[in-house]
């Protein structure tokens, strides 16, 4: 086995459902130590891709390697050091939190029983460990799901919308926990979240998917430093503004928003735009938009909708 | 594998009340036998020695098939739809091992119920009729029954009880296959129950096909092996059950190996 620092390699994967291609030639890779954000509108194919990576859904073509092991031909090795919470975590509701973790510990005979107490401690559920899971809140189930994902000392952990159902304080705690585990335990995280602000805060890399296609992939800092600036033109005359700006070659993209039009333009042309608009249109304000991951996401996905 | 089996047993023993409900059902049906025998004239002596054997058919025909349907549906369809099957698949375990462990766990649970039924029937037998002096077997070919020594009668009874685990486990394999076909536990239970009723009806109508239906052996395998070799020869019985078992497992494994896990 080669000594590569790539822990997850997804190459050219495709998947058809009823002859419709839902995942189209998706490729990306995740390096050890990354906190990787996986973004896309609802129905973009995020969960399908996670399930394909984890061997739950088979790909029609392409390869997936975890820790250099092929998920199809070397499944047992590939999955051995993986933790995952896919969608809302599910449990045997009539068993306690501890018993649910025991079921997973039993799948890794090399683990000592004390590991269950350790992961319960990490997620702060020690005092509720003996309660049946049907008495847990959604937030507690999310934490128990994380405990389950950590039980086998994973090298990579997949978290699908991990903050669903968690209160704001819990979200902050979870974010801190993820960063702490990434630093102290050297765990790589692969996270999907619809809260882009969270992803921006903790992830160093992201991939954006739309309609089963990968539309961007790279370091968060690179995506944010694009040579494009965004301006919101606040005006009642949206159609006129769109018509006026259409021929301009420094305009990259225009989207109607509630208060007017959001424009992405090449850096350095905002003054020119300002002058043009003021001469031809009644504009209330021009508001420069801070380049955030949210903006990048909306630009890439056309307002967060799938085609 | 042993840990997987342990998990399945843990889920069944601690995860619900089903096991206790069926234990209560066994006690109820076994007591019903006592009640029935007090109102029916029979040509031979009932006592603790042969009461267990008398009640075997009731347990394997009217109680345990329903337990098999419910437990296997739980293990396959319910776990798939609830998403807990996925949790096991996210760990280094072969899908074939998961299926085998579910089957072995079912086998162990049936053995447990069979043992429970055997013991309660001996207790009820002693309580209502006393131990008795001889073991009389109600052979349909002899109106007065056949007499065995106590030891031989008890050994044949025990053998009859435990051999009945085999056809019930084979039924579990058939339910397992049905469990993969449907996305609703209710549909799996309904289809399994329907199959059980239809096959029993076919067996009732056409004597010639009876030896080739696995449901016939719930009741008959004990007789075939330990008491009377009628049209069901021992070889045919085991070959038929073996074929159902192998085909059921192979089909279940094929469908499971190719199954995408969406829940």
- pLDDT one-digit tens code per residue, B207-246: 888 889 999 889 888 887 777 766 568 888 899 999 999 9
Confidence of residue A8 (pLDDT cuts 50, 70, 90): very high
Nearest CA in chain B to A89: B83
pLDDT tens column, B91-138: 999 999 999 999 999 999 999 999 999 999 999 989 888 888 888 877
- pTM of the predicted model, to two decimals? 0.82
**Nearest neighbour of A84 by CB, restricted to B83, B90, B94:** B90
- Number of helices (H) and strands (E), helices first, in chain A? 11, 14
Is the CB of A107 less than 8 angstroms away from the CB of B4?
yes
CB A76 within 8 A of CB A150: no
CATH class of the domain defined by A6-223:
alpha beta
Is the CB of A87 less than 8 angstroms away from the CB of B83?
yes
Tokens 């903006």 correspond to A295
Nearest CA in chain B to A83: B90
Distance (Å, whole) CA B202 – CA B219: 15
Given CB atoms, is B97 within the 8 Å cutoff of chain A? Answer: no
Residues of B in contact with A79 (CB under 8 A): 90-92
> What local confidence, expressed as pLDDT, does residue A306 receive?
55
> What local confidence, expressed as pLDDT, does residue A305 receive?
55
Residue positions counted in chain B = 263
- Whether residue A307 is predicted with pLDDT greater than 60 in this model: the reply is no
Query: Contacts by A113-119 with C-beta closer than 8 Å and gap 24+?
Result: A115/A151, A116/A151, A119/A147, A119/A148, A119/A150, A119/A151
Of A182, A150, A146, nearest in space to A166 by CA: A146
- Region B128-154: mean pLDDT is 77
Q: Is A302 helix (H, G, I), strand (E, B) or coil?
A: coil
User: What tokens does B76 get?
Assistant: 């396959």
Average per-residue pLDDT in chain A? 86
Distance from the Cα of A106 to chain B's closest Cα (Å) equals 6
- Whether residue B32 is predicted with pLDDT greater than 70 in this model: the reply is yes
> What local confidence, expressed as pLDDT, does residue B141 receive?
59
DSSP assignment letter at B141? T
> What local confidence, expressed as pLDDT, does residue A4 receive?
47
Tokens 């009880």 correspond to B161
Distance (Å, whole) CA B253 – CA B260: 13
> What local confidence, expressed as pLDDT, does residue B98 receive?
96
Q: At what angle do helices A138-150 and A97-105 cross, to 10 degrees?
A: 20
Residues of chain A with CATH 3.30.70.920: 226-290
pLDDT tens column, A136-179: 988 889 899 999 999 999 999 999 888 877 788 888 888 888 88
Given CB atoms, is A259 within the 8 Å cutoff of chain B? Answer: no
- Whether residue B44 is predicted with pLDDT greater than 70 in this model: the reply is no
Residues of chain A with CATH 3.40.50.300: 6-223
Is the CB of B3 less than 8 angstroms away from the CB of A77?
no
Q: What percent of chain B has pLDDT over 90?
A: 59
**Nearest neighbour of A109 by CB, restricted to B3, B86, B87:** B3
> What local confidence, expressed as pLDDT, does residue A302 receive?
65
- Whether residue A86 is predicted with pLDDT greater than 60 in this model: the reply is yes
Cβ neighbours of A67 (radius 10 Å): 21
Q: Which of B37-51, B89-103, B155-169 has the lowest mean pLDDT?
A: B37-51
- Alpha-helical runs (H) found in chain B: 2-14, 18-37, 48-58, 64-73, 79-82, 84-89, 95-129, 150-163, 165-181, 185-205, 216-226, 234-257
Distance (Å, whole) CA A231 – CA A262: 6
Confidence of residue A3 (pLDDT cuts 50, 70, 90): very low
Is the CB of B91 less than 8 angstroms away from the CB of A95?
no
Q: Could you give the angle at the alpha carbon of A145 between the alpha carbons of A139 and A146, nearest 5°?
A: 95
Distance (Å, whole) CA A22 – CA A26: 11
Confidence of residue A2 (pLDDT cuts 50, 70, 90): very low
Nearest CA in chain A to B92: A76
Distance (Å, whole) CA B251 – CA B261: 17
Q: Which of residues 28-57 of A touch B (CB under 8 A)?
A: 51, 54-57
pLDDT tens column, A15-65: 998 888 889 999 999 999 899 999 888 888 888 999 999 999 999 999 999
A255 vs B103, higher pLDDT: B103
Is the CB of B82 less than 8 angstroms away from the CB of A102?
no
> What local confidence, expressed as pLDDT, does residue B244 receive?
95
Q: Has domain A226-290 been given CATH number 3.10.20.600?
A: no
- Whether residue A1 is predicted with pLDDT greater than 60 in this model: the reply is no
> What local confidence, expressed as pLDDT, does residue A187 receive?
93
Q: What percent of chain A has pLDDT over 90?
A: 42
Q: Pseudo-torsion of CA B130, B132, B135, B138, nearest 10°?
A: -60
- Whether residue B37 is predicted with pLDDT greater than 80 in this model: the reply is no
B81 vs A284, higher pLDDT: B81
Distance (Å, whole) CA B164 – CA B220: 8
In our burial notation (b when 16+ CB lie closer than 10 A, e otherwise), range A37-55 reads bbbbbeebbbbbbbbbbbb
Distance from the Cα of A96 to chain B's closest Cα (Å) equals 9
Residues of A in contact with B94 (CB under 8 A): 76
């Amino acid at each position: 086995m080669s000594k590569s620092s790539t822990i997850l390699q997804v190459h050219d994967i495709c998947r058809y459902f009823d002859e419709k291609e839902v995942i189209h030639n998706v490729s990306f890779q995740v390096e050890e130590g990354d906190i990787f954000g996986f973004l896309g509108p609802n129905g973009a194919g995020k969960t399908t891709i996670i399930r394909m990576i984890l061997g739950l859904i088979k790909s029609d073509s392409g390869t997936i390697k975890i820790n250099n092991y092929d998920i199809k031909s070397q499944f047992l090795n590939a999955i051995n050091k993986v933790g995952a919470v896919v969608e809302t975590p599910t449990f045997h509701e009539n068993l306690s939190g501890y018993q649910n973790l025991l079921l997973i510990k039993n799948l890794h005979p090399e683990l000592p029983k004390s590991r269950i107490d350790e992961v319960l401690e990490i997620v702060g559920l020690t005092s509720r460990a003996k309660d049946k899971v049907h008495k847990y809140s959604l937030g507690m189930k999310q934490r128990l799901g994380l405990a389950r994902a950590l039980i086998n000392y994973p090298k990579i952990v997949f978290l699908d919308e991990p903050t669903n159902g968690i209160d704001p304080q819990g979200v902050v705690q979870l974010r801190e926990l993820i960063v702490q585990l990434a630093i102290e335990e050297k765990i790589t995280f692969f996270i999907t979240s619809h809260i882009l602000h969270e992803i921006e805060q903790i992830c160093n890399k992201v991939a954006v998917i739309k309609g089963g296609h990968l539309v961007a992939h790279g370091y968060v800092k690179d995506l944010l430093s694009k040579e494009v600036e965004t301006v919101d033109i606040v005006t009642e005359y949206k159609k006129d503004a769109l018509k006026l700006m259409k021929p301009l070659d420094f305009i990259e993209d225009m989207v109607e928003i509630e208060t007017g039009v959001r424009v992405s333009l090449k850096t350095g042309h905002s003054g020119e735009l300002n002058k043009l608009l003021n001469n031809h249109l009644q504009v209330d304000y021009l508001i420069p938009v801070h380049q955030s991951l949210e903006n990048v996401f909306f630009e890439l996905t056309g307002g967060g909708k799938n085609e | 594998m042993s840990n997987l089996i342990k998990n399945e047993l843990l889920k069944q023993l601690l995860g619900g009340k089903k096991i206790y409900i069926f234990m209560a059902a066994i006690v109820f049906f076994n007591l019903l036998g006592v009640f029935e025998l007090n109102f029916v004239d029979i040509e031979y002596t009932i006592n603790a020695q042969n009461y267990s054997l008398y009640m075997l058919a009731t347990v394997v025909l009217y109680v345990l098939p329903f337990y098999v349907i419910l437990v296997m549906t739980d293990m396959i369809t319910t776990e798939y739809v609830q998403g807990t099957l996925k949790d096991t698949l996210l760990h280094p375990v072969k899908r074939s091992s998961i299926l085998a462990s579910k089957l072995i766990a079912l086998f162990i649970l049936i053995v447990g119920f069979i043992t429970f039924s055997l013991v309660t029937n001996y207790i009820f037998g002693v309580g209502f009729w006393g131990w008795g002096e001889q073991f009389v077997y109600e052979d349909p070919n002899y109106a007065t029954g056949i007499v065995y020594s106590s030891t031989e009668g008890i050994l044949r009874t025990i053998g009859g009880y435990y051999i009945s685990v085999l056809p019930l486990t084979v039924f579990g394999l058939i339910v397992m296959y049905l469990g993969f076909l449907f996305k609703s536990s209710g549909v799996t239970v309904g289809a399994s129950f329907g199959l059980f009723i239809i096959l029993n009806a076919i067996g009732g109508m056409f004597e010639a096909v009876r030896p080739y239906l696995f449901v016939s052996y719930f009741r008959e395998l004990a007789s075939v092996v330990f008491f009377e070799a009628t049209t069901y020869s021992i070889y045919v019985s085991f070959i038929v059950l073996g074929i159902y078992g192998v085909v059921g497992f192979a089909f279940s494994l094929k469908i499971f190996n190719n199954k995408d896990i969406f829940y």
